[in-house]
């Protein structure tokens, strides 16, 4: 694509990067075939190619964003399926993130939009605030249908029936390896996940320590910054990210880290991009170091369960739980694997979770069109509920068509989104692996969604 940025414009690092990305686009339109919003809306401007034209025009002419451009940029899920499809290597993620920052600085949204985005940015990244908000939403949920704004209804309906107690395992501390030590890792405990489902981090700690990893929860680490980053609130997202960088670099420099383990794939995509986010910041070197060792939990588990030097496959020391069988008598439990967009498109991790689940004895199936987003996409299901609901219904239909015993995913947002529309239990992949390798049965599989005993301290 030909661009006409001036030399003066290209002095801005964001514009310079946008120029590189725009020039890589060849207008082929392959991206339209895998774009969820184009599939649902059928509008060229709601496809990556259409949005690229809007962004190019806005940036080149340095014009104030108009309502039309903002509407179509806001409708983007940032699922990044277009990046997987693109034959030209167009880095759409960096382009749309820059466009959102540009819009945030120059466009005055309607008051209701500004208020909603302000609330989300100041609640979701903070676990205790989010817990209080969930309790309030739970109380107000019966009145959701009376809310005139669909986004407010979505916020109330998002509240889970049960809010787990705080897990002290998420506090800064170190968990010693239960097996001969192979590595030392930092676990990113996240923000929203700590309020919505404490079992995921607990299961991750058990699995990692059982396989020979020393796990540290670093003092000062918290939200990765993804939620505010995708709203265009760059200063807020960078402030969150900077805290993580400093916390993890401190661990790297003191006792060393082999990996930063992330079990929420949306966070993983962002942390792995810290090098780009901070490329013009004094923290650039440290940010690149952190991004260089950031790993999805499935990547680390593949490494820890690799064959030994003699070529012998890894085997768990415990027998497979007798209860881990299908409701279909002696058959293996059928797991429908939902590939989170941030994992398969953002991080290009497509086989590891399925490989691990199969090794653990599960029968793994996938829905049709697994590349299409479920409609969660961070805060998208709260800010674009109509489109999100259509994508959710499509995803649930394709998952349920496989008649699984359980649905597994690697991202808390997807789990909440899909779980709100199906009776089939949905759990994190690592919870199933933990169960298969000697841990407790996931609470969702009991039909209670509540841990029957107090959350155990793992240290």
DSSP for 382-404, written as a single string:
HHSHHHHHHHHHHHHHHHHTT--
Q: Name the percent of the chain in helix, strand, coil, to the closest 5.
A: 50, 10, 40
Nearest to 445 by CA among 413, 419, 412: 419
Mean pLDDT of the chain, nearest integer: 91
For residue range 301-328, what is the model confidence (pLDDT) as tens digits?
999 998 666 566 667 665 544 444 444 3
pLDDT at 90: 96
Four-point Cα dihedral 39, 45, 48, 50, nearest 10: 140
pTM, full prediction: 0.91
The mean per-residue pLDDT over the stretch 130-137 comes to 86
β-partners of residue 185 are: 215, 259
pLDDT at 318: 54
**Tokens 């279909």 map to which residue?**
328
pLDDT at 29 over 60: yes
Buried-exposed string 66-95: b where 16+ CB fall within 10 A, e elsewhere = eeebbebbbbbbbbbbbbbbbeeebbbbbb
Answer whether 359's CB lies under 8 Å from 384's CB. no
Range with lowest mean pLDDT among 97-101, 128-132, 286-290: 128-132
The mean per-residue pLDDT over the stretch 115-134 comes to 91
The distance between the two most distant Cα atoms of the chain, rounded to a whole number of Å, is 70
């Amino acid at each position: 694509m030909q661009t006409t940025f001036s030399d003066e414009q290209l002095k801005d690092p964001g514009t310079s990067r946008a120029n590189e990305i725009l020039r890589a686009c060849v207008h082929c339109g392959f991206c339209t075939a895998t774009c969820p919003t184009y599939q649902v809306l059928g509008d060229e401007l709601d496809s990556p190619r259409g949005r690229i034209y809007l962004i190019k025009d806005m940036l080149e002419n340095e014009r104030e964003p108009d309502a039309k451009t903002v509407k179509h940029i806001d409708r983007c899920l940032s699922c990044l399926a277009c990046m997987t499809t693109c034959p030209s290597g167009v880095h759409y993620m960096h382009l749309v993130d820059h466009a959102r920052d540009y819009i945030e600085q120059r466009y005055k949204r309607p008051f209701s939009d500004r208020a909603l985005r302000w609330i989300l940015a100041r609640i979701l990244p903070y676990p205790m605030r989010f817990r209080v908000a969930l309790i309030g939403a739970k109380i107000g949920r019966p009145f959701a249908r009376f809310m005139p704004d669909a986004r407010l209804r979505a916020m109330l309906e998002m509240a889970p029936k049960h809010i787990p107690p705080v897990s002290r395992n998420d506090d800064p501390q170190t968990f010693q390896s239960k097996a001969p030590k192979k590595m030392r890792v930092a676990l990113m405990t996240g923000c929203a996940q700590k309020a919505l489902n404490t079992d995921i981090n607990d299961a991750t700690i058990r699995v990692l320590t059982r396989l020979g990893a020393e796990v540290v929860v670093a003092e000062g680490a918290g939200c990765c910054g993804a939620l505010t980053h995708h709203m265009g609130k760059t200063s807020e997202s960078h402030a969150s990210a900077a805290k993580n960088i400093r916390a993890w670099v401190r661990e790297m420099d003191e006792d060393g880290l082999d990996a930063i383990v992330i079990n929420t794939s949306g966070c993983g995509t962002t942390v792995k991009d810290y090098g780009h986010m901070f490329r013009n910041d004094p923290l650039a070197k440290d940010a690149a170091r952190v991004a260089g060792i950031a790993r999805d939990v499935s990547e680390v588990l593949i490494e820890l369960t690799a064959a030994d030097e003699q070529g012998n496959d890894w085997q768990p020391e415990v027998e497979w739980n007798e209860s881990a069988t299908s409701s279909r008598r002696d058959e293996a439990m059928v797991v429908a694997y939902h590939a989170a967009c941030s994992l398969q498109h953002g991080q290009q991790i497509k086989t590891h979770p399925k490989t691990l689940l199969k090794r653990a004895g599960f029968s793994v199936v996938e829905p049709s069109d697994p590349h299409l987003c479920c409609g969660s996409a961070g805060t998208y299901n709260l800010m674009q509920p109509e489109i999100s609901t259509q994508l959710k219904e499509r995803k649930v239909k394709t998952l349920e068509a496989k008649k699984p015993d359980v649905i597994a995913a690697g991202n808390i947002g997807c789990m909440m989104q899909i779980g709100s529309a199906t009776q089939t239990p949905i759990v994190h992949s690592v919870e199933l692996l933990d169960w298969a390798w000697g841990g407790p049965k996931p609470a969702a599989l009991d039909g209670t969604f509540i841990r029957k005993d107090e959350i155990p301290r793992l240290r």
